[in-house]
Amino acid sequence: MSDDLQDVIQEVLRRVRPSVEERNHMNNVLSEVVSRLQEEFKSIEPEADVLIEGSVAKDTWLSGETDADVFVRFPVKWKKDEMGRTLIDCVKRVFGPEKCRLRFAEHPYVTVRIEGINVDIVPCYRVNRGEYRSATDRTVFHTEFVRERLSPEMRDEARLLKKFFKGIGVYGAEIKTRGFSGFLVELLVYSLGGFKETLEKLASFKPPLLLDPGELYKGREEELYRKARDSLICVIDPVDELRNVAAAVSGESLSIAQYASYLMLRKPSVKFFYPAHKASKEEIREIVRSRGLNMFAITIPAWTDIPDILWGQAYRLLSRISIFLEENEFRVLMDKVWSDEEKNVVLLFILEEVEKRAAVLHMGPPYFSNNVPVFIETYLNNEKTLVQPFPRNGRWWTILKPKAKNVDEVVSKAFSSKEFLKGFSENILKAFSESKMYYGEDVVEAVDNTGYLSFLEKCIHPFSWILRED
């Protein structure tokens, strides 16, 4: 594999630029979607217009990409919920309900699958720049900005950065990833001058990384610094000075991007763009077993088909279980979620231990503290006390029965505790009742899916697929 940055870039470019046939296919599918929707809208709302948006309109889409965006722009007299409902009904009527999948970002939209392409059909309002009424109203202005400002060369640079971020797992602003959106990628290459320049910046910056691609704060730089003070990365939306396009980027994603950029510049490789996770079930089983890792997985059937909701709730559930485990004296070393967004959610934990010994040491106050009598009296005749309070090395201690004998007990306790379950909806509770648990090397059996195996491999070796020599 080539080591020279320019060679790697040329090789990747060759693979990410859509071919003429691909472009034709995409254009044909989208033209058909647009004209069928336009026809239908003539009778519903003649003032609505149907637009091709997103990376196809901006010519920053990747070869092999099967997603595209079409927007239906409504006059502002429409109420938000009516607009969403009308669009969904109309799309179902035109393309048939079996081809449609209802989805949800900040408001509902539909995905239609036509000839291998998933077209997101999204409602928005026709407004003047700056007078946005819904989250999607800015998109047409974003498209305009990119089409005006990004040269064909810069669009290719955006493709490279997009593919790089996809490869290292930080592409996409949705809750699942909390990474870099397509528009953010475009603004980064535009502001910083290209793919390599963006890597150099990412590899070396200390937060906040502050950019104002539309120069909206020209002459008001002080105000901009104040605004960005508390963010890790702040990229001012060129069509809305109050919005940070990078607001969704988590510290975790940004830090991965920083390290991967550093690695890529030091030792360029196509592997960053096309990672090969290839450990088999048996290999992962062997790693977990030989390292004695206390892994623990809970498989729960997916309780909704709306990905943003599923991921949001799965992350909340993960953190609630982690806290519950800690409260029950099981130290959590790592916690992560995986889902195929259709059938299963897996919550994965690495714990210090999964079984408790017979007794735990419980720390009390230092000698001469006012709290000593309360501590002693609390544990003198407590049902949990195995050894009554005693002084040792400057503090008081007691030895207690563990709160739970093993993780199984803690999770059962959680899933039957009113306090724990508070706030979870009926459908999640029902899914809990069908959950299954796997321990140690058996976590590889939690679901039968190669994506899950890659996830497990990445949990144990977040960068091995880049560092590994072939």
Burial of 202 (0-12, 13-18, 19+ CB in 10 A): buried
Which one, 136 or 177, has the nearer CB to ligand CTP?
Answer: 136
The Cα 332–Cα 328 span in angstroms is 11
Strands 100-104 and 240-244: unpaired
CB 195, min distance to ligand CTP, A: 15
CB half-sphere exposure, 79, CA atoms < 13 A: 3
How far out from the chain centre does Cα 50 lie?
A: 29
Instruction: Please say whether the beta carbons of 148 and 59 come within 8 A.
Output: no
Instruction: Please give the radius of gyration of the chain, using alpha carbons only, rounded to the nearest integer.
Output: 27
Per DSSP, 194 falls in state S
Between 59 and 442, name the residue whose CB sits nearer to Mg ion.
Answer: 59
Segment contacting Mg ion by CB under 5 A, of 66-74, 202-210, 303-311, 329-337: 66-74
- Among residues 55 and 244, whose Cβ is nearest to Mg ion? 55
Closer CB to ligand CTP, residue 117 or residue 407? 117
Partner whose footprint covers residue 212, from ligand CTP, Mg ion, none (CB < 5 to 8 Å by kind): none
> Which does residue 108 bind out of Mg ion, ligand CTP, none, counting CB within 5 to 8 angstroms by kind?
none
CA dihedral 12, 235, 203, 200 (to 10 degrees): 60
Quick one: which segment of 53-61, 204-212, 228-236, 289-297 binds Mg ion (CB under 5 A)?
Answer: 53-61
Contacting residues toward ligand CTP, per CB under 6 A: 53-55, 61, 67, 69, 105, 109, 120, 122, 136, 139, 142, 181-183
Instruction: Pick one of ligand CTP, Mg ion, none as the site partner of residue 364 (Cβ within 5 to 8 A by kind).
Output: none
Residue nearer to ligand CTP on the CB measure, 145 or 296: 145
Euclidean distance between the first and the last CA atom of the chain, given in angstroms as a whole number = 9
Closest-approach residue to ligand CTP (CB): 182
- The first and second tokens of residue 442, run together, are 């058996």
Among 69, 137, 212, 335, the residue binding Mg ion under the rule CB under 5 A is 69
Rounded to a whole number of angstroms, the minimum distance from the CB of residue 172 to ligand CTP is: 7
CA 407: distance to chain centroid? Answer: 27
455 binds, among ligand CTP, Mg ion, none (CB under 5 to 8 A by kind): none
Q: Report d(CA 453, CA 348) in Å as an integer.
A: 12
Q: Which residue among 33, 48, 55, 162 contacts Mg ion (CB under 5 A)?
A: 55
Burial class (CB within 10 angstroms; exposed 0-12, middle 13-18, buried 19+) of 469: exposed
Taking alpha carbons only, the member of 16, 239, 287, 11 closest to residue 130 is 239
Buried/exposed code over 349-376 (b: 16+ C-beta within 10 A; e: otherwise): bbbeebebeeeeebebeeeeeeebeebb
**Given the complex with ligand CTP, which of 123 and 194 has the nearer CB atom?**
123
Q: Which does 183 bind (CB under 5 to 8 A by kind): Mg ion, ligand CTP, none?
A: ligand CTP
> What residues form DSSP beta bridges with 399?
361, 387
Residue 105's binding partner, choosing from Mg ion, ligand CTP, none, with beta-carbon cut-off 5 to 8 A by kind? ligand CTP
Pick from 54, 123, 167, 402: which binds Mg ion (CB under 5 A)?
54
Of 139 and 313, CB closest to Mg ion? 139
CB of 142 to Mg ion, least distance (A): 11
Which stretch in 62-70, 100-108, 267-275, 437-445 sits in contact with Mg ion by CB under 5 A? 62-70
Residue 55 vs 454, nearer CB to Mg ion: 55
Residues near Mg ion (CB under 5 A): 54-55, 69
